Chains A and B, each alone.
Chain A
Amino acid sequence: MNGNRKLLNKIGSFVLFMGPSLFAFTCVLLIPLVYGIYLTFTDYSPIKMSYEFVGINNFKAVFSDKEFWQQFGKTLKYVLYSTIFCNILAFLLAFLLTGNIKGRDFLRAGFFTPNLIGGIVLGYIWKFLFSNVVTKLGEILDYQFLKTSFLTHPERAIVSMIIVTVWQYAGYLMIIYIAGFVSIPQDVDEAAEIDGATGFRRLWHITMPLMVPSFIICFFIIISRGFMTYDLNLALTNGQPYGSTRLAAMHIYQKAFQANEYGIGQAEAIIFFVTVAIVAVTQVLLTKRFEVEA
């Protein structure tokens, strides 16, 4: 009798504390995820009355869809370059902004500003800059390269995406790198200085290895955000010109909601998910190997 009441009590508090949280989580994440895997084996479409089980046909369709893989490749390229340049810039900014520098908080706040603003608005700001301001600058300087807008050029439009992404996230990653610099114990660095290590060697042999945790976080953030980029893509280029900047996330959106191919779109989304997971986990494992104890 007593045991029963105790169990009831336990279940009661479980429902009270965990209920709302688990209910929402299950309804919007778990169920759609499982149902989504089921959808990949059907030819479901919202404009049809009924749908059928089609086995792995959707995956076959995706694997033979050249356009998808081209855009997937473009996405990988975009993520790779954004990751490299954003981290270099962020690290440099953090390096310049650590230690005694006047107006430090003001400067940090300034570099962080783009992160307060959503991708839609950032995309439109840069659309003006690329199509009106940069071209004008080209005219004034009489510099041919800048005279035509980056956004109308199939090769260079993706560069504009990378530029904006680097600009947007550099301040974010900078803040994480600054926190990393600050957490390096002073005595290790001082000891190396006394031993006669020069500035550059100290940076390379002492600071960098101790910064590995920051590198892991920063790479992870920009890689996962890069893959999911949609708003910025939509506002800045909308996949143009000639579909040359249609990144994977946009491709999936259009497959599902414009072509009404839910099954194929979802199969792409699952492939996308698996790729993101593999890249993110590999990155963390690879960088972890460089980790040292202070």
Chain B
Amino acid sequence: MAAAKFDVPELKEYPIIPKLQKDAMAHSAPYVAKEQFQTQLGYPGELVDNWQQVAIDKMGELTEKYRSLQVFLDSCVKCGACTDKCHYYLGTTDPKNMPVARQDLFRKVYRRYYTLAGKLVPKLVGAEDLTEEVLDDWYTYFHQCSQCRRCSVYCPYGIDTAEISMAAREVMDAVGKGQKYCNEIIGKAQTLGNNLGLPEPALIDTLEGLEEDIEDETGVQVKMPLDVKGADVLLITPSADFFAEPHIDGLIGYAKVFHEAGISWTMSSYASEAANFGMFIGSYENMQKLALRIRQAALDLGVKRIVFGECGHAWRVAYSFLNTLAGPFDFLDSNYPVPQHICEVTHGLIQDGKLNLDKSRNDHMVLTYHDSCNVARASRMGDTAGGQFTIPRDIIKASCNHFYDMPEHAIKEGTYCCGGGGGLLTDDLIELRVKGAMPRMQALKQVTEQNGVTHMAAICAICKSQFSKVFPYYDFQMDQIVSVHQLVSNAIVLTGQTDGDSDDEDSKDAEEAA
């Protein structure tokens, strides 16, 4: 591993709350979006002249549009309960990464212009004018929040810093100070259909290659259909599933599941992206545009169900917002929830005994599971509260013999973000990503040492990319992160599969080659 240009946090045996180090991460900010990426989303190309006034007006507009923002700005009592809950604070020690301090960057301006106390006695209540310095702080620290909502679990009033980050980013976009990574991606997804800008021929190519691989491996013809009209299921998956590791193994897993269950399905080249980066910049309009592509694809292809692949933020937007943004979906089959998660589909099939899973095929791995923040704290699966925790675990346990959970404070609703969510998965923020991953690495190390865990499974495209990148900084291997449906894919014995018994050797070779 190339030496890092910054200190990688040391993994302690037990989590500790670090001492504050002012401005420890003040130097970290992502690239600012250039004019072309701004204007395509309807924002000014660069910082507008009267930016202060525009920002203050926008702030007022947002507090009138979102009850969350209004209530959260008013309700914080500075109790401090959230101060040690953010992985970015734990990893960077910068006090402005404490959730309440992050909120306060926004709140002090709100107080100054929108509250009586802030107008009369600003010093007393910590209100401040919106200066260039404040704007810089916003740009820096609202791009050090992955909007993971861990803080919201622990706040006595449910104050969700993610909502404030989103609002701050929307205000910054409105004055012309957008973030390059997010805005460029949203533009691509709105025009080309996916975040990576993969054109249709590239998709077809990839899918054909995968079909051949599966056939070589299993002797079974498993289809990877694209734009098939009249299919029952439209699968929407993050575009990383088409090319990145280990995402692609997950995609193969979905295909095998559909094949084995005899479900007719298709993907769409028009809506070839599940992740909705519109949420990261707090833009209802941009989020809606992306959601409407999915509706359009479902209408054009005449499907009966919509199923989402493994992606955390995608699932949050799909589960919580798709119906609101792009519904009603009364043209779909009402026997299924709209949308469904691939894990719900697979889990249902396992329960009905429709899949033949040979757990021993995963015997070369000892697994743990990373609850992705947006799945854990902002969505659900199945029909009971907490299904998002049990369903993926049930699938993993049905697919392998060795599974251990990480410590309780680091999983389920207390889970730590991978460090790369919220539109921060960009190389310009690598230091932040590495440091922010620290709490997860610590918990992982614990089960590695205690239970001999060798691999961590996840159901989020960002988590998978982030971990492959940051693992080496903490002496783990890139390929220790796996897709949940990769485990299913390994374990499933397809009807008519020729390599009847497991061949560990082969899969190991394949892994090493990867």
Question: Is chain B found bound to chain A in the same assembly?
Answer: no
